[in-house]
Structure 1
Amino acid sequence: MASIRDLLRGGRSESGDVVQHTVGNALVLHHRDEISGEAQSLALSVVADTDNDVVVLDLGDGMPIGSWESMAAVLPRRRRGIRLVACGQQHHTAAMAGQWLSERLSRTVIAPDGDLVRGSAGALFVHSKPGSGWVRFRPGKPPAWDAKRYPTPVWDTAATDSRACSSTGEIEPLPGGVWIHDVRLPEVVTEHRGRLVADVPCQSETMTVLLGCPGTAALSLDDVVRFWRGLDPESQLRARFVQYGDIRIPEGESFGQALADLLGTNVVCYPGVPIGAPGKFEIRTVRADGVLGWPPFAQELGYSPRAHPHSRARRPRLLSHRAPLKWTEEISPRVYWYAPDAVVEVIEAGLWVRPADEPGNAERVRSTPLDPEGGTMIFDDTVQGRSARMRELAEDLAARVDASVGQTSTLFPASVLVPGQKPDGRAQANLAGPAQPRPEVERGEPTVVVPRRAPVGVASVIGIPPPVSMSVAIQPAAEVPDPVRPAIAAAPAPPPAAAPPPAAATPSVVPVPATRSAFLGIAIPVPVDPRPEPPAAAAGPDPVPPAAVAVAPAAAQVAVAAPAAPPVAPPVAPPVAGADPVPPPAPVEIPTESSIDDPGGTESPRRAGPVPAVDATTDPTTPPAAPVAPGPARPAPGTDPSGVRVQPVASPDASALPGSRVPAEERAWLRRSLSQDFDAMASSVSRIMSEHPGMNAGGGSTADDVLVDSVAIRLFLTRRGAGIDAGLRSGANGPHVPLARCAVSGLSRLPSFRGSTVVRTTPSPGEWHLYQGRRLVTDWSFVTMLTAPCAGQDGDTDVLIWSMTARRTALLEPEGDERVDDRVVFLPGTHFKILELAEPDGDRRGIIALREIGANEIDDDGRIDQNRLSLDELAVASLHRSLDRWAGTAGRHRIGAASVGRFGVLPGLVRPPVGKKG
């Protein structure tokens, strides 16, 4: 008869009911009769555990409950722990068995709590529900979560549970890393998931982050940012990004560069998907159809963010690579000896056969982007006498390399990548005249192949802006040499486009990639913009106003003619350091919109003479007179009978442009003038500064300077800030100037915002009139916007601005009815490009879409750079996506009652005074 102890253990088992066999790195417990194929496969592939005995429970169709005691009997009592896995119909009982065996054997047992997923090279991944993973059971102690993966990488905790990153995107952990993808086609996602689980290795030191899924909608980089922000700094350094599917990035931009710019930090990308074992894997490119392609020689590419949002990107750094052939000698980084007179250099696109002496076009060749469809073999032909020799060596190398990887390389001379071998490498052509001649190419070269998808980064090959349209790329096909013509002739001829008038120093066309050879840099001229530029004499509204010369950074200094200003009274000299400039009255009264035309009520260190009269009859199309030196405030051209006018450009004494150091006497004057108000605000601001050390002194400023600047921000954000705005818009001088300068200095320390901003307003007919036909507006005051709409805000028009540098003000927002949630502020002197105008019509709301632009997008003549059209398209698309997203969500009130009047004035314009507001 069975004892009570036997019954509690599930019944007495017969001796020898369970037997053990060592298979591979595991001990398999199974029925005496047989061992299943699943158990054998699992045991043979599992990685040995240095700290635990790997035990596989072969449960088959199910073991009687009495078999548990037999299992315990065949396992020895030892100090080492047990890593327990189960296969068969009852594999989900591994966690329960782990707890029982831990108590029964007095050994630590690690068992999976969830579905066990087998990854590449024996990796075991536990994933089925939130919190699933390997659980550690210890005798007499509660279970504890141990890891997600085995073997456990150092980044394991960075990717444990699936979570949504948008309404259509998901961050999904994989055995080998993380996959961020669209979820709207589950059957497509399931197919690719199986491949990634089985092929992508789990590397101990680096985390593979796959983006997108072939066959699904393009992934937004916003989803990547949300994932990135959740990583600790160490995990961020270990991330290796892979473009696995389509991603929404600017046209002509490389995926890695777009990512680095958006994240604002260096990133490392794989040029394809890693497959194989952690210690021995290869990279395979991802073709347009989602099938893995050839193994590139470049293994890791490093991208750095642009120094300025609109500056030219650096060439990606080749961080690691594989040798072109075994047993070849690496004579310098990425350069291998191949013949007495030639070396082979590994570049992003493939291999480059060249002389040992580096040719002059080296950087252009190295900038050739990788083609996912196939490898590229480039031979140097800069010296005519050596071209045949370099080609011969390249053909020999291609035959050896192709045989080893089972792929085909396409041969290209370096001159095809750099047309004409000009020192500056700039491809120039003009549709108004004959096409530029192509370099002579030897007969018999391989016919170029047409890729199914033009890869990103094409324009970087020859230093040109992104392509305009593939459909207009084939117009001058008759000028292309024979080896290229067959690939072009198949394209349909486009309708003729009007050629823009020739410019003096700027090429009027850009090359567009239409074939694989074009992808490698063969230029085909097309118009940049079919709309002709207005004559220089009629470009009144667009040039940057002249005061920027005196106070803006060097990049923004442009001299533009302006009408002469009326006489102005001599300004009062600014205070001298250490002297008391003016005996200040009681707490300063910040001017309001109604008092701004006569700002003489309060003495300040920057008070000048009377404000110049504004000529409301100035014709905005009238060409400016001869250039004049910056002086007192001048009215900008363009006014309206209703009183709405373009902002005048303030004199240096009345401006608050960022970049200039705030004089110490201005901060001292502000502290004295605010008196008790300053002390009250300084108390709360000091507490905020102590909680956010990043606001503290830096860049030569003392802690006291930062405190004064932060108090100035707090004051500006209250209702009294409306007077500061009005003063700057008018170009007048007065007490608002030192206040604004301190606020600008403080705002520059706050975090920036990049993305869509919005306010709702009802522009007057005069404001619509002044915006029509303009392409550039500059606001010499602060521009206040929201990062999401405010419920109940009046207005029949949505004003949208794509922000690059607007500052978030949440840290210093006032309390009560002056508080504004989600407020951002553009600093004075910000330029905005008008992208879209549509007045309201019936039930359709109006829209005014602008993009913040940098000074480097404006040339010496004050005109906007035509090579940034892709940025305009990206901004418009992003702004409209934001509108669609906001339309589907319930809005909330963001603007306090006392701050409602701070919003609605269009950038660059001045509304007439409307009376004093409290």
Structure 2
Amino acid sequence: MNRDTVDQGAGDFLVERRGAHVLIRRIGEADAQAGPIGWPEPVDGHVFVLVSPGAAKDGSLITALPALLHRSVVAKDVEAVRIALPGLGRDPFVPQALADALDIEIFAPDGAFIAEPGALLYAGHGTGGTGWLRFRPGAPACPGGRRYPVPAWETAIPATPFGVPGAIVEPVPAGLLVRRPDASSPALGDVAFSVPADSSVAKIVVGGEGAAPAAGLVSIVVGRLSLVPTRLVPLSTTTSTHAWLSEFAKSLSRDVVVEIPPTDVKKRYRPFVAKLLQRADGGQKVLEAVVPPRGWQRRDAFGYRRGQVMADVVPSGLVLRTGAGASVASAAPFDPEGWTLYLGTAGDPIGPELLSGAEALLGELAPETRKVARLELLGLLDDKTRNLIDRTPAIATRAGPPAGTKRAEPVQRQEEQVRPSAPVAAPQAAEGEAVRPVAEAPSPQGAPVMPAALMVSSAPVPTMSGSTPTATAHEAVAGVPQVPPAPAVPMSVTRQEIPAETEQKELPEAASVAAARSEDSAPAPMPVVEETRTEVLAHAAVGAREPVAPSESRVVPGTALVVADRASTAAEQTRFTAAAGDEYGEALATVNAALATWPSMRGQTDSGVKADYVAVCLYLGRGRGGFGDLNTAVRGGVAGEIDGQVSCLASGLRRLPTHRRAVLRQSKDAQGLEGTIAPGSILTEPGFLVGSMDLDVTVPDADLDVLIWPASARRTSELLIGQPVNEVVFFAGARFKALALRATEPVDGEPGDEPTAPRVAALFRELAPDETVAASGELDEHDLAVLAKLDRALERRRRGALRLIEEPGLRGRMTSSLYEWHEDVSSSPAKGQTVTLAS
């Protein structure tokens, strides 16, 4: 906003005109309001006065305000002045005196207000006050709204929180937040307060990870308030899924506009969709796309262009084309975990300019967006493009496989897998190993440089030899350090397009390898096309949401079992069901109760959901397959007493919601930890680590708190309802970086009959599966940011009352040990050492 005039006000203050508004600041104070702030839309007859931070702290401002306003603000056409000074309305004497002296209406907040763009200067619940107060000459103060300018929908929503069975509804700047009762109330700075408001419609913000209520409950809230039209803003991966959104619209019996935040709370990637229409019949339609990547121009509300290349934003990703018409890709729903880049349209040729457009697009995307991308060819490669690819050395053929590497399995034809718009499974990597990239192929002189993912006519399927990392196509685009690749598998094409001599040479070999697969191995990670289709349909895994491991957990002699992080197969579920026996039936009752309580869990209709959840229940139970027995087995390199449980347990955890707050564990032996868990050291748990999401508990005789900021921990409270402690489970093989060891002195006069927190606490951050750690062991900016959060959590824990937990099984799970693994012992765990964080 341009500065029009600067007046010498009164005392040490300046009055600056900012268009239709006014800024009061101290003389010599830096212009803290030069950047974008939430300057309101001008209102006829009203003047908005913003007080700078320096002026707000100056006690003489109140004395100078009458002269400042009289000289520079009040005029004949001014009916009201809104003074943005936090807490000015708390003591009504000053604003009432201003109104009487200036004979004008004064608006002032009785608490703080939010000045960020899009917040409408919100001063209601959550800011420490009730809103803006209105002071009129000679009349008592009255409410003056919670936002400015006051939107038409403000009077239709409550000003204070209220509850419905299973949910809490709270006001936020954009409208209302709906969260679960066990989730914490949002505060200033939380993502719920950052959702921009729309003066034309109230938004229903659905809580983030750990706070997401059931879709049916949210529809009850919307129906009760009669909010039409409805704008929904999901803040979590769970509430952004097609299953949740479809259930919400169906329960509401009408179409719903869904506003997709730039990133979800996990910060995985930035979607191309800004708004989509979720229809009650389950369909989705893009209403608005985000701003185009650099080098692209906006074509319309949901499309871009770059030269002759068009980009259509569809719910599931982006369609690049040079021909006309929409694509069948528009039928696939939005996926909060990843997106698909579709090349071409059915029956149209894919030329070099389209590949160049794809390269330009991928080059402008952030790494986290490229990482979760998938590639699908919908068109036909023309001769020019095919020749270019043929003379460009493909990444899949630059080097032979390492010694001992098994030959990659071919893609099998399975008609039931054919869904052109369905997500594509990620390439497989050895269990517990981060998938690493391969080198990009050099481009022939004079040829356009293509990303490795687009330079191959076949999709690389990585394999594993020992602990040698494998490759995925997408990471070659990302430019991460590279390793030799494994041989490629020819992509699936129509039978009509396979030359006769090629078919005779390749198909028998493919069939022989397929026949050698074990009966319970996972299906090939790439869907194939129907033989009747006339175009090439290649699903190349350009990115993976999570590393997908081989079909069985890998056992290395003399080491721990490296557990596959993937969905369980039907064969594993069958074996587990049979081996669990009576225990399966007992746990199934718990699972059925959870599925009846949480509609989002019922939405997972595949047949293996109950077996996976039963495996989790057994792991957290007292009988066979419990924590003690199974973790001992995994650490010893075996899969446990109950056949198939490890695979189903890992799969069940993947289905549960992610926990994104501090996790508590404890120990009864804190001696000698200063050298063992020095900041920067890495601890690894080969098994499934358990902790408490409740920070108000303690076990008897504990002398060490272990607080962990998680990355992969899964919440079990939805599955095991009504437990005394809400537990979380970390995936097997999780790594933890030590951040600090905190100790406090005993306080005199502490009550001896109440449980107290240990005086020593070790603070950790869980590392992402593919995260690298600096050899120096120093803490980086991410570590320091997490450390600040853990310190605040520890302070709240030490101030509050604690519950004593004496149930033996729970105590054992909360106090198991971790291991210290050095960077050079990934294949020789015997060199690692046990860190006693438990008795």
Same fold, judged at TM 0.5 (above): no
Question: Scaled by the length of structure 1, what TM-score is found?
Answer: 0.40
